[in-house]
Amino acid sequence: MKVKQAIRKIIILGGGTAGWMAAAALANNPVFAAIELCLVESDNIGNIGVGEGSTPHLKRFMDNLGISEKDWMERCHASYKTGIDFINWNGDGQQYFHPFYFQMDVKPAEVFFINANARRRGHGNAVKPDAFFSSGVLAKHNLSPRPNKAMPYINEYGYHFDATELANYLKDYACQRGVRQIIADVVEVSTSPNQQIETLILANGERLSADFFIDASGFSAKLIHKALGVPFQSFADELLNDSAVTVPVLMEPIQTQAQQAKYHTRATALSAGWLWQIPLTHRLGNGYVYSSRHLSANAAAKELLHSVNLPESTQVRFLKLRVGVSDKAWHNNVLAIGLAQSFIEPLEATSIMMTQFTLERFMSLFERYQLNKQAETLSRQTLNQAVMQLVLGIKDYIQAHYVTSQRSEPYWVAARKVAISQRLTQLLKAWYQGEDFDLLLYQYDQQLAYFRPSWYALLAGMDYHDPKLKRPFEPISADITAQAISYCQTLVEQYFQPKHS
Protein backbone atom coordinates (compact mmCIF):
# COMPACT_ATOMS: atom_id res chain seq x y z
CA MET A 1 0.00 0.00 0.00
CA LYS A 2 1.29 3.43 -0.93
CA VAL A 3 2.72 5.46 1.95
CA LYS A 4 1.26 8.93 2.41
CA GLN A 5 3.34 12.06 2.02
CA ALA A 6 4.56 13.10 5.46
CA ILE A 7 3.04 16.15 7.08
CA ARG A 8 5.60 18.90 7.21
CA LYS A 9 3.60 21.89 8.46
CA ILE A 10 0.62 22.38 10.77
CA ILE A 11 -1.24 25.67 11.17
CA ILE A 12 -3.38 26.35 14.23
CA LEU A 13 -6.06 28.94 13.53
CA GLY A 14 -7.00 30.86 16.65
CA GLY A 15 -5.24 31.58 19.91
CA GLY A 16 -7.08 31.63 23.20
CA THR A 17 -6.76 28.79 25.65
CA ALA A 18 -7.57 26.03 23.13
CA GLY A 19 -5.21 27.24 20.40
CA TRP A 20 -2.25 27.74 22.72
CA MET A 21 -2.93 24.45 24.49
CA ALA A 22 -2.58 22.79 21.08
CA ALA A 23 0.58 24.72 20.25
CA ALA A 24 2.19 23.89 23.59
CA ALA A 25 1.23 20.22 23.51
CA LEU A 26 2.47 19.65 19.95
CA ALA A 27 5.68 21.62 20.51
CA ASN A 28 6.43 19.43 23.53
CA ASN A 29 5.72 16.14 21.73
CA PRO A 30 8.73 14.50 20.01
CA VAL A 31 6.41 13.09 17.32
CA PHE A 32 6.01 16.65 15.99
CA ALA A 33 9.65 17.66 16.34
CA ALA A 34 10.29 17.74 12.57
CA ILE A 35 7.01 19.49 11.76
CA GLU A 36 6.76 23.26 11.39
CA LEU A 37 4.15 24.61 13.79
CA CYS A 38 2.46 27.95 13.23
CA LEU A 39 -0.40 29.68 15.06
CA VAL A 40 -2.44 32.43 13.42
CA GLU A 41 -4.55 34.65 15.64
CA SER A 42 -6.31 37.97 15.26
CA ASP A 43 -5.80 40.85 17.65
CA ASN A 44 -9.33 42.01 16.79
CA ILE A 45 -11.04 39.04 18.44
CA GLY A 46 -11.24 38.83 22.21
CA ASN A 47 -11.24 35.61 24.17
CA ILE A 48 -14.53 34.27 25.50
CA GLY A 49 -12.72 33.67 28.78
CA VAL A 50 -15.63 31.85 30.44
CA GLY A 51 -13.59 28.74 31.24
CA GLU A 52 -11.94 29.83 34.46
CA GLY A 53 -12.29 26.50 36.23
CA SER A 54 -10.96 23.04 35.49
CA THR A 55 -11.32 19.39 36.34
CA PRO A 56 -8.30 17.51 37.78
CA HIS A 57 -7.24 16.56 34.22
CA LEU A 58 -5.54 19.94 33.74
CA LYS A 59 -2.86 19.04 36.29
CA ARG A 60 -1.77 16.10 34.12
CA PHE A 61 -1.62 18.37 31.06
CA MET A 62 0.63 20.91 32.78
CA ASP A 63 2.76 18.18 34.35
CA ASN A 64 3.28 16.58 30.95
CA LEU A 65 4.56 19.92 29.67
CA GLY A 66 7.06 19.97 32.53
CA ILE A 67 5.58 23.19 33.90
CA SER A 68 5.97 24.06 37.56
CA GLU A 69 2.59 24.34 39.27
CA LYS A 70 3.77 27.27 41.36
CA ASP A 71 5.07 29.12 38.30
CA TRP A 72 1.98 28.94 36.11
CA MET A 73 -0.47 29.37 38.98
CA GLU A 74 1.24 32.53 40.19
CA ARG A 75 1.22 34.10 36.75
CA CYS A 76 -2.40 33.12 36.05
CA HIS A 77 -3.73 34.27 39.46
CA ALA A 78 -4.79 30.66 39.96
CA SER A 79 -6.26 29.05 43.05
CA TYR A 80 -6.91 25.42 43.87
CA LYS A 81 -10.34 23.87 43.39
CA THR A 82 -11.78 21.08 45.55
CA GLY A 83 -15.11 20.84 43.69
CA ILE A 84 -18.40 22.67 43.13
CA ASP A 85 -20.99 23.82 45.65
CA PHE A 86 -24.51 23.64 44.18
CA ILE A 87 -26.77 26.12 45.95
CA ASN A 88 -30.58 26.29 45.88
CA TRP A 89 -31.05 24.03 42.85
CA ASN A 90 -34.35 22.79 44.28
CA GLY A 91 -35.50 26.25 45.32
CA ASP A 92 -35.48 25.24 48.98
CA GLY A 93 -32.31 27.02 50.06
CA GLN A 94 -30.41 23.73 50.38
CA GLN A 95 -27.02 23.00 48.86
CA TYR A 96 -24.73 20.07 48.16
CA PHE A 97 -21.12 19.65 47.15
CA HIS A 98 -19.84 17.80 44.08
CA PRO A 99 -16.40 16.65 45.26
CA PHE A 100 -13.32 15.46 43.47
CA TYR A 101 -12.86 11.82 44.44
CA PHE A 102 -9.58 10.09 45.20
CA GLN A 103 -8.39 6.78 46.57
CA MET A 104 -8.46 7.64 50.28
CA ASP A 105 -12.20 8.40 49.96
CA VAL A 106 -13.09 4.83 48.93
CA LYS A 107 -14.34 3.56 52.30
CA PRO A 108 -16.34 6.60 53.48
CA ALA A 109 -17.75 6.99 49.95
CA GLU A 110 -19.19 3.46 50.16
CA VAL A 111 -21.03 4.45 53.32
CA PHE A 112 -22.43 7.46 51.47
CA PHE A 113 -23.55 5.22 48.57
CA ILE A 114 -25.38 2.88 50.96
CA ASN A 115 -27.12 5.76 52.73
CA ALA A 116 -28.11 7.28 49.37
CA ASN A 117 -29.58 3.95 48.23
CA ALA A 118 -31.50 3.68 51.50
CA ARG A 119 -32.99 7.15 51.01
CA ARG A 120 -34.15 6.54 47.43
CA ARG A 121 -35.82 3.29 48.55
CA GLY A 122 -37.77 5.02 51.29
CA HIS A 123 -35.50 4.63 54.33
CA GLY A 124 -33.80 7.41 56.27
CA ASN A 125 -33.31 11.11 55.71
CA ALA A 126 -31.72 12.99 52.83
CA VAL A 127 -27.99 12.39 52.62
CA LYS A 128 -25.50 14.73 50.97
CA PRO A 129 -22.00 13.84 49.76
CA ASP A 130 -20.25 16.72 51.50
CA ALA A 131 -19.08 14.96 54.68
CA PHE A 132 -18.15 11.63 53.04
CA PHE A 133 -15.40 12.97 50.75
CA SER A 134 -12.24 14.68 51.92
CA SER A 135 -12.63 17.45 49.34
CA GLY A 136 -16.09 18.20 50.72
CA VAL A 137 -14.60 18.64 54.19
CA LEU A 138 -11.80 20.79 52.73
CA ALA A 139 -14.40 23.02 51.07
CA LYS A 140 -16.39 23.35 54.28
CA HIS A 141 -13.31 24.55 56.14
CA ASN A 142 -11.91 26.62 53.22
CA LEU A 143 -8.72 24.58 53.11
CA SER A 144 -6.38 24.05 50.17
CA PRO A 145 -6.32 20.54 48.64
CA ARG A 146 -2.53 20.63 48.68
CA PRO A 147 -1.46 18.45 51.64
CA ASN A 148 1.06 19.67 54.19
CA LYS A 149 2.81 16.31 54.33
CA ALA A 150 3.22 13.19 52.21
CA MET A 151 0.08 11.10 51.70
CA PRO A 152 -0.26 7.41 50.79
CA TYR A 153 -2.15 8.41 47.62
CA ILE A 154 -2.18 11.36 45.27
CA ASN A 155 -5.23 13.51 45.88
CA GLU A 156 -7.32 14.98 43.07
CA TYR A 157 -7.98 18.68 42.62
CA GLY A 158 -8.69 21.22 39.92
CA TYR A 159 -7.88 24.90 39.48
CA HIS A 160 -9.47 28.31 39.10
CA PHE A 161 -7.48 30.67 36.86
CA ASP A 162 -7.51 33.69 34.60
CA ALA A 163 -8.16 32.14 31.18
CA THR A 164 -6.50 34.99 29.27
CA GLU A 165 -3.35 34.71 31.37
CA LEU A 166 -3.30 30.93 30.94
CA ALA A 167 -3.41 31.39 27.15
CA ASN A 168 -0.57 33.92 27.40
CA TYR A 169 1.49 31.58 29.56
CA LEU A 170 1.08 28.71 27.11
CA LYS A 171 1.86 31.08 24.24
CA ASP A 172 5.23 31.94 25.78
CA TYR A 173 5.89 28.25 26.38
CA ALA A 174 5.04 27.29 22.79
CA CYS A 175 6.93 30.15 21.14
CA GLN A 176 10.04 29.35 23.17
CA ARG A 177 9.86 25.88 21.64
CA GLY A 178 9.69 27.03 18.05
CA VAL A 179 6.03 27.70 17.37
CA ARG A 180 5.68 30.67 15.02
CA GLN A 181 2.98 33.18 15.95
CA ILE A 182 1.33 35.27 13.22
CA ILE A 183 -1.03 38.05 14.23
CA ALA A 184 -3.40 38.59 11.33
CA ASP A 185 -7.01 38.38 10.22
CA VAL A 186 -7.93 35.47 7.97
CA VAL A 187 -10.31 36.81 5.31
CA GLU A 188 -10.61 33.75 3.09
CA VAL A 189 -9.93 30.02 3.14
CA SER A 190 -9.13 28.09 -0.03
CA THR A 191 -9.89 24.40 -0.41
CA SER A 192 -8.90 21.74 -2.91
CA PRO A 193 -11.42 19.86 -5.10
CA ASN A 194 -11.37 16.97 -2.62
CA GLN A 195 -12.27 19.29 0.27
CA GLN A 196 -8.87 19.67 1.91
CA ILE A 197 -7.89 23.05 3.33
CA GLU A 198 -5.01 24.41 1.23
CA THR A 199 -4.35 28.01 2.23
CA LEU A 200 -5.44 30.74 4.60
CA ILE A 201 -5.58 34.15 2.92
CA LEU A 202 -4.77 37.02 5.26
CA ALA A 203 -6.07 40.59 5.18
CA ASN A 204 -2.72 41.82 3.80
CA GLY A 205 -2.97 39.37 0.89
CA GLU A 206 -0.45 36.88 2.23
CA ARG A 207 -1.29 33.21 1.67
CA LEU A 208 -0.38 30.63 4.29
CA SER A 209 -0.22 27.00 3.22
CA ALA A 210 0.05 23.87 5.36
CA ASP A 211 -0.52 20.13 5.20
CA PHE A 212 -2.75 20.04 8.28
CA PHE A 213 -4.86 22.59 10.18
CA ILE A 214 -6.20 22.80 13.73
CA ASP A 215 -9.35 24.90 14.01
CA ALA A 216 -9.33 26.80 17.31
CA SER A 217 -11.30 29.74 15.92
CA GLY A 218 -13.99 29.63 18.58
CA PHE A 219 -17.71 29.68 17.90
CA SER A 220 -17.06 30.98 14.34
CA ALA A 221 -15.48 27.58 13.44
CA LYS A 222 -13.96 29.06 10.28
CA LEU A 223 -12.40 25.85 9.02
CA ILE A 224 -14.48 22.89 10.20
CA HIS A 225 -17.90 24.46 9.56
CA LYS A 226 -17.52 27.48 7.27
CA ALA A 227 -14.85 26.13 4.93
CA LEU A 228 -15.49 22.38 5.03
CA GLY A 229 -19.22 22.50 5.74
CA VAL A 230 -19.22 19.89 8.51
CA PRO A 231 -22.71 20.11 10.10
CA PHE A 232 -23.17 21.44 13.61
CA GLN A 233 -25.48 19.54 15.92
CA SER A 234 -27.23 22.08 18.14
CA PHE A 235 -28.28 21.20 21.70
CA ALA A 236 -30.39 24.35 22.03
CA ASP A 237 -33.59 22.39 22.70
CA GLU A 238 -31.90 20.07 25.18
CA LEU A 239 -29.80 22.57 27.13
CA LEU A 240 -31.67 25.87 27.27
CA ASN A 241 -28.90 28.23 28.39
CA ASP A 242 -27.60 30.19 25.41
CA SER A 243 -26.31 33.41 27.00
CA ALA A 244 -24.18 34.70 29.83
CA VAL A 245 -23.52 37.99 31.56
CA THR A 246 -20.34 38.39 33.59
CA VAL A 247 -18.81 40.81 36.08
CA PRO A 248 -15.51 40.41 37.93
CA VAL A 249 -15.02 41.82 41.42
CA LEU A 250 -11.46 42.92 42.13
CA MET A 251 -10.27 42.33 45.66
CA GLU A 252 -8.55 44.93 47.79
CA PRO A 253 -5.16 43.76 49.13
CA ILE A 254 -6.56 43.51 52.64
CA GLN A 255 -9.29 41.16 51.38
CA THR A 256 -7.08 38.97 49.27
CA GLN A 257 -5.95 36.60 51.99
CA ALA A 258 -9.50 35.96 53.21
CA GLN A 259 -10.92 35.60 49.72
CA GLN A 260 -8.10 33.30 48.68
CA ALA A 261 -9.21 30.83 51.33
CA LYS A 262 -12.23 29.91 49.18
CA TYR A 263 -11.12 26.78 47.32
CA HIS A 264 -14.26 25.80 45.48
CA THR A 265 -16.59 27.01 42.76
CA ARG A 266 -20.13 28.07 43.63
CA ALA A 267 -23.04 27.37 41.27
CA THR A 268 -26.19 29.09 42.56
CA ALA A 269 -29.51 28.53 40.80
CA LEU A 270 -31.31 31.74 39.78
CA SER A 271 -34.62 32.43 38.05
CA ALA A 272 -33.56 31.44 34.51
CA GLY A 273 -30.21 29.70 34.91
CA TRP A 274 -27.39 29.76 37.41
CA LEU A 275 -24.66 31.98 38.80
CA TRP A 276 -21.02 30.91 38.88
CA GLN A 277 -18.61 32.37 41.41
CA ILE A 278 -14.96 31.50 40.87
CA PRO A 279 -12.31 32.72 43.34
CA LEU A 280 -8.95 33.71 41.86
CA THR A 281 -6.14 35.20 43.91
CA HIS A 282 -6.89 38.75 42.77
CA ARG A 283 -10.60 38.76 41.95
CA LEU A 284 -13.85 36.88 42.18
CA GLY A 285 -15.27 35.89 38.80
CA ASN A 286 -19.07 36.10 38.62
CA GLY A 287 -21.28 35.07 35.72
CA TYR A 288 -24.93 34.31 35.10
CA VAL A 289 -25.55 31.58 32.52
CA TYR A 290 -29.18 31.88 31.39
CA SER A 291 -31.77 31.22 28.71
CA SER A 292 -32.56 34.22 26.50
CA ARG A 293 -35.93 32.62 25.79
CA HIS A 294 -36.86 33.14 29.42
CA LEU A 295 -34.97 36.28 30.41
CA SER A 296 -33.82 39.45 28.63
CA ALA A 297 -30.18 40.50 28.73
CA ASN A 298 -30.99 43.58 30.82
CA ALA A 299 -33.02 41.54 33.30
CA ALA A 300 -30.20 38.99 33.54
CA ALA A 301 -27.67 41.74 34.23
CA LYS A 302 -29.92 43.20 36.93
CA GLU A 303 -30.37 39.79 38.58
CA LEU A 304 -26.63 39.11 38.44
CA LEU A 305 -25.68 42.43 39.99
CA HIS A 306 -28.31 42.06 42.70
CA SER A 307 -27.02 38.54 43.48
CA VAL A 308 -23.45 39.74 43.99
CA ASN A 309 -24.43 42.98 45.78
CA LEU A 310 -23.24 45.40 43.11
CA PRO A 311 -25.03 48.58 41.98
CA GLU A 312 -27.13 48.37 38.81
CA SER A 313 -24.82 50.92 37.17
CA THR A 314 -21.90 48.44 37.24
CA GLN A 315 -20.55 47.61 33.79
CA VAL A 316 -21.09 43.99 32.72
CA ARG A 317 -20.11 41.87 29.74
CA PHE A 318 -22.64 39.95 27.64
CA LEU A 319 -21.86 36.68 25.83
CA LYS A 320 -23.80 34.53 23.38
CA LEU A 321 -23.18 30.79 23.64
CA ARG A 322 -23.47 28.20 20.88
CA VAL A 323 -24.30 24.95 22.63
CA GLY A 324 -23.76 21.77 20.64
CA VAL A 325 -21.15 19.73 18.83
CA SER A 326 -19.64 19.39 15.38
CA ASP A 327 -20.76 16.16 13.68
CA LYS A 328 -17.05 15.45 13.22
CA ALA A 329 -14.19 16.87 15.24
CA TRP A 330 -11.69 15.66 12.62
CA HIS A 331 -12.60 15.98 8.95
CA ASN A 332 -10.10 15.62 6.11
CA ASN A 333 -7.04 17.67 7.11
CA VAL A 334 -8.74 19.70 9.86
CA LEU A 335 -9.04 18.94 13.57
CA ALA A 336 -11.47 21.16 15.49
CA ILE A 337 -10.81 21.86 19.16
CA GLY A 338 -12.26 24.13 21.82
CA LEU A 339 -15.40 26.09 21.00
CA ALA A 340 -14.98 25.35 17.28
CA GLN A 341 -15.63 21.70 18.10
CA SER A 342 -18.16 21.65 20.93
CA PHE A 343 -19.55 23.56 23.85
CA ILE A 344 -21.58 22.33 26.79
CA GLU A 345 -22.39 25.09 29.25
CA PRO A 346 -19.68 25.59 31.90
CA LEU A 347 -21.60 24.03 34.80
CA GLU A 348 -18.99 21.31 35.41
CA ALA A 349 -16.00 23.12 33.85
CA THR A 350 -15.59 20.58 31.04
CA SER A 351 -14.50 22.81 28.13
CA ILE A 352 -10.75 22.67 28.77
CA MET A 353 -11.03 18.97 29.58
CA MET A 354 -12.60 18.40 26.14
CA THR A 355 -9.76 20.28 24.44
CA GLN A 356 -7.18 18.29 26.38
CA PHE A 357 -8.92 14.98 25.62
CA THR A 358 -9.08 15.77 21.89
CA LEU A 359 -5.43 16.82 21.70
CA GLU A 360 -4.20 13.79 23.63
CA ARG A 361 -6.21 11.42 21.45
CA PHE A 362 -5.01 13.19 18.29
CA MET A 363 -1.36 12.98 19.33
CA SER A 364 -1.69 9.29 20.15
CA LEU A 365 -3.13 8.59 16.69
CA PHE A 366 -0.94 10.92 14.64
CA GLU A 367 1.87 8.55 13.65
CA ARG A 368 -0.61 5.88 12.57
CA TYR A 369 -2.64 8.51 10.69
CA GLN A 370 0.37 9.27 8.48
CA LEU A 371 0.96 5.68 7.37
CA ASN A 372 -1.56 5.27 4.54
CA LYS A 373 -5.13 6.06 3.47
CA GLN A 374 -6.63 3.20 5.42
CA ALA A 375 -4.87 4.22 8.63
CA GLU A 376 -5.82 7.85 7.98
CA THR A 377 -9.52 6.99 7.77
CA LEU A 378 -9.41 4.73 10.81
CA SER A 379 -7.60 7.37 12.89
CA ARG A 380 -10.24 9.99 12.14
CA GLN A 381 -13.08 7.57 12.87
CA THR A 382 -11.48 6.55 16.17
CA LEU A 383 -11.08 10.13 17.36
CA ASN A 384 -14.50 11.27 16.15
CA GLN A 385 -16.24 8.41 17.90
CA ALA A 386 -14.37 9.05 21.15
CA VAL A 387 -15.04 12.80 21.10
CA MET A 388 -18.75 12.39 20.34
CA GLN A 389 -19.13 9.78 23.07
CA LEU A 390 -17.54 12.07 25.64
CA VAL A 391 -19.59 15.11 24.58
CA LEU A 392 -22.86 13.16 24.77
CA GLY A 393 -21.83 11.72 28.14
CA ILE A 394 -21.18 15.23 29.47
CA LYS A 395 -24.51 16.41 28.07
CA ASP A 396 -26.34 13.62 29.94
CA TYR A 397 -24.74 14.59 33.22
CA ILE A 398 -25.37 18.32 32.78
CA GLN A 399 -29.02 17.70 31.85
CA ALA A 400 -29.46 15.62 35.00
CA HIS A 401 -28.95 18.78 37.09
CA TYR A 402 -32.00 20.35 35.46
CA VAL A 403 -34.42 17.46 34.98
CA THR A 404 -34.15 16.51 38.67
CA SER A 405 -34.76 20.06 39.95
CA GLN A 406 -37.98 20.91 41.77
CA ARG A 407 -37.85 24.67 41.14
CA SER A 408 -41.13 26.11 39.87
CA GLU A 409 -40.15 29.13 37.70
CA PRO A 410 -41.14 28.85 33.99
CA TYR A 411 -37.51 28.36 32.95
CA TRP A 412 -37.01 25.47 35.37
CA VAL A 413 -40.28 23.83 34.36
CA ALA A 414 -39.16 24.02 30.71
CA ALA A 415 -35.67 22.72 31.57
CA ARG A 416 -37.24 19.75 33.31
CA LYS A 417 -39.23 18.83 30.19
CA VAL A 418 -36.44 18.78 27.59
CA ALA A 419 -35.73 15.66 25.55
CA ILE A 420 -33.11 13.42 27.15
CA SER A 421 -31.29 10.35 25.88
CA GLN A 422 -32.53 6.83 26.44
CA ARG A 423 -29.45 6.24 28.57
CA LEU A 424 -30.22 9.15 30.91
CA THR A 425 -33.89 8.18 30.99
CA GLN A 426 -32.97 4.68 32.17
CA LEU A 427 -30.51 5.94 34.76
CA LEU A 428 -32.97 8.40 36.29
CA LYS A 429 -35.80 5.87 36.23
CA ALA A 430 -33.67 3.24 37.97
CA TRP A 431 -32.66 5.71 40.66
CA TYR A 432 -36.15 7.14 41.22
CA GLN A 433 -37.84 3.74 41.34
CA GLY A 434 -35.29 2.21 43.71
CA GLU A 435 -33.94 -0.24 41.12
CA ASP A 436 -30.37 -1.48 40.61
CA PHE A 437 -28.70 1.80 39.65
CA ASP A 438 -25.17 0.42 39.94
CA LEU A 439 -25.89 -2.31 37.41
CA LEU A 440 -26.91 0.32 34.86
CA LEU A 441 -23.78 2.34 35.60
CA TYR A 442 -21.74 -0.79 34.96
CA GLN A 443 -23.58 -1.54 31.70
CA TYR A 444 -23.04 2.02 30.45
CA ASP A 445 -19.52 2.30 31.85
CA GLN A 446 -17.78 2.94 28.52
CA GLN A 447 -20.31 5.58 27.46
CA LEU A 448 -20.41 7.74 30.58
CA ALA A 449 -18.33 10.86 31.08
CA TYR A 450 -19.03 10.74 34.83
CA PHE A 451 -18.86 7.73 37.06
CA ARG A 452 -20.39 6.42 40.25
CA PRO A 453 -19.28 9.05 42.82
CA SER A 454 -20.44 11.93 40.61
CA TRP A 455 -23.83 10.41 39.81
CA TYR A 456 -24.46 9.66 43.47
CA ALA A 457 -23.31 13.15 44.49
CA LEU A 458 -25.76 14.74 42.05
CA LEU A 459 -28.82 12.56 42.58
CA ALA A 460 -28.47 12.26 46.34
CA GLY A 461 -27.47 15.92 46.58
CA MET A 462 -30.68 16.90 44.76
CA ASP A 463 -32.58 14.45 47.00
CA TYR A 464 -34.12 12.98 43.86
CA HIS A 465 -36.49 10.27 45.06
CA ASP A 466 -40.11 9.14 45.05
CA PRO A 467 -41.47 10.15 48.49
CA LYS A 468 -44.18 7.45 48.24
CA LEU A 469 -41.79 4.62 47.47
CA LYS A 470 -40.97 1.99 50.09
CA ARG A 471 -38.76 -0.91 48.98
CA PRO A 472 -36.91 -3.43 51.13
CA PHE A 473 -33.45 -2.20 52.09
CA GLU A 474 -31.22 -2.70 55.09
CA PRO A 475 -29.82 0.71 56.10
CA ILE A 476 -26.34 1.02 57.49
CA SER A 477 -25.99 1.70 61.22
CA ALA A 478 -25.74 5.25 62.54
CA ASP A 479 -22.41 4.31 64.16
CA ILE A 480 -20.82 3.32 60.83
CA THR A 481 -22.10 6.51 59.21
CA ALA A 482 -20.61 8.56 62.05
CA GLN A 483 -17.30 6.68 61.70
CA ALA A 484 -17.15 7.45 57.96
CA ILE A 485 -17.76 11.14 58.57
CA SER A 486 -15.19 11.17 61.36
CA TYR A 487 -12.66 9.41 59.10
CA CYS A 488 -12.87 12.19 56.49
CA GLN A 489 -12.59 14.86 59.15
CA THR A 490 -9.53 13.14 60.65
CA LEU A 491 -7.95 12.75 57.21
CA VAL A 492 -8.27 16.47 56.59
CA GLU A 493 -6.92 17.34 60.04
CA GLN A 494 -3.99 15.00 59.55
CA TYR A 495 -2.87 16.05 56.08
CA PHE A 496 -4.40 19.43 55.22
CA GLN A 497 -4.75 21.62 58.30
CA PRO A 498 -2.47 24.68 58.26
CA LYS A 499 0.63 24.02 60.32
CA HIS A 500 0.04 26.99 62.62
CA SER A 501 -3.74 26.90 62.85
Active site residues: 81
Alpha carbon separation from 135 to 94, 196, 442 (Å, rounded): 19, 48, 25
**Residue 255 neighbours by CB distance under 10 Å:** 12
186 appears as a binding residue in the annotation: yes
Residue 53: which of 75, 81, 86 has the closest Cα? 81
Query: How much is the CA Rg of the chain, to the nearest whole Å?
Result: 23
Instruction: Give exposure, 448-465, as e/b (b: 16+ Cβ within 10 Å).
Output: bbbebbbbbbbbbbbbbb
**DSSP 8-state class, residue 370:** T
**Residue 134 neighbours by CB distance under 10 Å:** 30
Residue 81: which of 297, 274, 266, 236 has the closest Cα? 266
* C-alpha torsion angle, residues 364, 352, 143, 93 (rounded to 10): -130
316 appears as a binding residue in the annotation: no
9 appears as a binding residue in the annotation: no
- Cα(125)–Cα(137) distance, integer angstroms: 20
**Residue 91 neighbours by CB distance under 10 Å:** 13
CA–centroid distance for 179 within its chain: 27
53 appears as a binding residue in the annotation: no
16 appears as a binding residue in the annotation: yes
15 appears as a binding residue in the annotation: yes
Q: Could you please report the per-residue DSSP string of 164-208?
A: HHHHHHHHHHHHHTTPEEEE--EEEEEE-TTS-EEEEEETTS-EE
Per DSSP bridges, beta strands 180-183 and 36-41 are: parallel
138 appears as a binding residue in the annotation: no
39 appears as a binding residue in the annotation: no
Q: Residues in the chain, how many?
A: 501
352 appears as a binding residue in the annotation: yes
Per DSSP bridges, beta strands 212-215 and 207-209 are: unpaired
Per DSSP bridges, beta strands 273-279 and 95-99 are: unpaired
* C-alpha torsion angle, residues 463, 277, 449, 355 (rounded to 10): 170
- Cα(78)–Cα(55) distance, integer angstroms: 14
Cβ atoms of 291 and 272 within 8 Å: the answer is yes
- Cα(126)–Cα(55) distance, integer angstroms: 27
Residues annotated in the binding site for 7-chloro-L-tryptophan, as ranges? 81
